[in-house]
């Protein structure tokens, strides 16, 4: 299950989200984030080729995903148009990298990779020689950029053998009437990625700093700051007030995020992009400080470190993508009884309308996380399992707000929302459950005797 082991490590806005896995008598089943927008390949086939601004938007996201996995010591080895999906069908759809079946952990200090694999049009020349590094992914990104701008592959042939021979020769053209309409910056970046010399080939991190991406960035910077800073103040308020340390509670909150409607989720994703100034897929203290300065908010280093500490579950100095979404979501969203019910039923694996500590253990393992015995004991102290060793929906709702919020917050122009009547939400759902049970009893035949 190498693919699952890799997926568990990944948390980036441009990488498809791993949700859980389970096993039956014959197979392992991996449950992933649903992407309704289709493949990048389908979009290119439909349009023929993409205009340069659209290609730039796509390449920025693809490079960000590859930079992230390389920094995590993972090489994909099968980057191609087919392995990028769009999360929605809309014009602002987010690109998602998928299929880590050929991926591998890579340590540049140990030795080169040797297994020859990949897809003929996208494979790097050095892979054919059986001696390559993670820069084989950058070559594939260069192929993708070439195709989406031109509509055809730089290396082609009537069969795989001819294609691979052309790849090995690494001779391609950026000349002719068509390429005359493409900017010099775009062509230069392609040449940096389709560099046969591995040492000279640019990394994804270098490519993201290329002038092609910076050309139109400065013109919109002032406009973006004025518009975006005000639009995302609600996120900063929620970040400063967030204080949830329990693994089980965080997992329940992540389930609730998946229940947000498209508009609400887009607001949070847009906010993450605004905070993630360098496009790394993680937010640092420096980036958090920059955003607060842009918003005109006073802050101290202690406050910044406190926000990072509360939002980030592990002992690190960065906020990951899902951690950001969990902390940034408006607390009113958690007042939605259907979202609470969905999260509750996610853990109610035996469908008894209650949750046991064993249920929680099983689900946490299924999503690639484990609870230590110390965490289990802490959980049992926080939730009352006295009712036959199980927790009702009402008790679950009360637990979801038991830790409260961080009092060390910033003064904002908007008034904070009133607390939600969580207890009433729980009672209402409990009444609905009881009504269903009563109706079931009425419809069942009466049995007397043995």
Using CA atoms, how far apart are residues 127 and 116, in angstroms rounded to an integer? 6
* In contact, 283 and 319? CB cutoff 8 Å: yes
The model carries a pTM of 0.81
Residue pLDDT, tens place only, 135-144: 999 999 999 9
* Closest by CA position to 71, among listed 301, 279, 217: 279
Say which residue, 354 or 368, is predicted with more confidence. 354
Using CA atoms, how far apart are residues 357 and 377, in angstroms rounded to an integer? 10
The architecture of the domain spanning 2-215 is Orthogonal Bundle (1.10)
pLDDT score for 333: 67
Q: Where are the domains of the chain?
A: 2-215, 219-350+392-434
* In contact, 339 and 256? CB cutoff 8 Å: yes
pLDDT score for 409: 40
Say which residue, 190 or 405, is predicted with more confidence. 190
Average pLDDT of the segment spanning 396-401: 79
pLDDT tier at 331 (50, 70, 90 boundaries)?
confident
In our burial notation (b when 16+ CB lie closer than 10 A, e otherwise), range 369-398 reads eebeeeeeebbeeebebeeeebbbbbbbbb
pLDDT score for 447: 44
Residue pLDDT, tens place only, 267-319: 888 889 888 988 888 888 889 888 888 887 777 778 887 888 788 766 567 88
**Most confident segment among 84-98, 190-204, 426-440:** 190-204
* In contact, 375 and 408? CB cutoff 8 Å: no
Average pLDDT of the segment spanning 49-64: 96
* In contact, 3 and 102? CB cutoff 8 Å: no
pLDDT at 323 over 50: yes
Q: Which of 211-225, 271-285, 359-373 bottoms out in mean pLDDT, i.e. has the lowest? A: 211-225
pLDDT tier at 230 (50, 70, 90 boundaries)?
low
pLDDT at 133 over 60: yes
Q: How large a percentage of the chain has pLDDT more than 90?
A: 40
Which of the residues are catalytic?
78
Count Cα neighbours of 170 within 13 Å in the Cβ-side half-sphere: 20
DSSP-derived secondary structure letter, 321: H
pLDDT at 256 over 70: yes
pLDDT score for 46: 95
DSSP-derived secondary structure letter, 332: G
Using CA atoms, how far apart are residues 142 and 375, in angstroms rounded to an integer? 46
* In contact, 321 and 12? CB cutoff 8 Å: yes
pLDDT at 10 over 80: yes
* In contact, 15 and 69? CB cutoff 8 Å: yes
pLDDT score for 420: 45
* Closest by CA position to 232, among listed 92, 330, 298: 330
pLDDT score for 422: 45
Say which residue, 214 or 69, is predicted with more confidence. 69
DSSP-derived secondary structure letter, 130: T
* In contact, 166 and 157? CB cutoff 8 Å: yes
Q: Which of 27-31, 180-184, 269-273, 309-313 bottoms out in mean pLDDT, i.e. has the lowest? A: 309-313
Say which residue, 247 or 342, is predicted with more confidence. 342
* Closest by CA position to 143, among listed 200, 80, 208, 84: 80
Choose the CATH number for 219-350+392-434 among 1.10.238.10, 2.40.40.20, 3.20.20.70, 1.20.1600.10.
1.10.238.10
H or E element in which residue 96 lies: strand 95-97
H or E element in which residue 57 lies: helix 52-71
Average pLDDT of the segment spanning 71-91: 94
């Amino acid at each position: 299950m190498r693919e699952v082991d890799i997926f568990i490590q990944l948390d980036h806005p441009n990488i498809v989200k791993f949700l859980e896995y389970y096993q039956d008598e014959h197979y392992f089943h991996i449950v992933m984030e649903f992407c309704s927008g289709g493949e990048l390949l389908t979009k290119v086939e439909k349009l023929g080729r993409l205009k340069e601004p659209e290609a730039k938007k796509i390449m920025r996201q693809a490079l960000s995903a590859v930079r992230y996995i390389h920094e995590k010591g993972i090489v994909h080895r099968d980057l191609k148009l087919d392995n990028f999906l769009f999360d929605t069908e809309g014009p602002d759809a987010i690109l998602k990298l998928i299929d880590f079946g050929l991926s591998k952990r890579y340590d540049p200090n140990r030795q080169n990779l040797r297994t020859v694999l990949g897809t003929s049009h996208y494979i790097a020349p050095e892979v054919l020689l059986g001696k390559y590094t993670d820069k084989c992914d950058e070559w594939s990104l260069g192929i993708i950029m070439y195709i989406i701008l031109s509509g055809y592959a730089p290396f082609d042939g009537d069969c795989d053998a001819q294609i691979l021979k052309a790849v090995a020769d690494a001779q391609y053209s950026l000349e002719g009437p068509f390429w005359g309409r493409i900017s010099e910056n775009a062509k230069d970046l392609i040449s940096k990625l389709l560099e046969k010399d591995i040492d000279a080939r640019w990394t994804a991190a270098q490519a993201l700093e290329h002038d092609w991406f910076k050309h139109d960035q400065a013109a919109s910077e002032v406009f973006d700051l004025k518009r975006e800073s005000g639009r995302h103040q609600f996120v900063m308020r929620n970040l400063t007030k967030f204080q949830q340390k329990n693994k089980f509670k965080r997992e329940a909150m992540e389930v609730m995020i998946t229940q947000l409607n498209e508009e609400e989720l887009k607001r949070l994703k847009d906010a993450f992009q605004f905070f993630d100034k360098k496009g790394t897929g993680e937010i640092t203290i420096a980036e958090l400080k920059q955003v607060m300065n842009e918003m005109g908010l006073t802050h101290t280093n202690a406050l910044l470190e406190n926000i990072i500490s509360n939002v980030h579950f592990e002992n690190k100095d960065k906020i990951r993508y899902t951690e950001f979404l969990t902390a940034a979501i408006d607390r009113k969203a958690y007042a939605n009884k259907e979202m609470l019910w969905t999260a509750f039923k996610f853990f109610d694996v035996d469908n008894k309308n209650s949750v046991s500590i064993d249920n929680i253990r099983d689900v946490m393992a299924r999503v690639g996380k484990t609870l230590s015995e110390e965490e289990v004991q802490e959980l049992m102290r926080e939730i009352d399992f006295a009712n036959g060793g199980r927790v009702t929906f009402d008790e679950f709702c009360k637990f979801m707000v038991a830790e409260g919020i961080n009092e060390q917050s910033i003064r904002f122009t908007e008034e904070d929302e009133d607390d939600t009547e969580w207890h009433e939400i729980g009672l209402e759902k409990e009444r609905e459950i009881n009504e269903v049970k009563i109706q079931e009893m009425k419809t069942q035949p009466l049995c007397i005797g043995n």
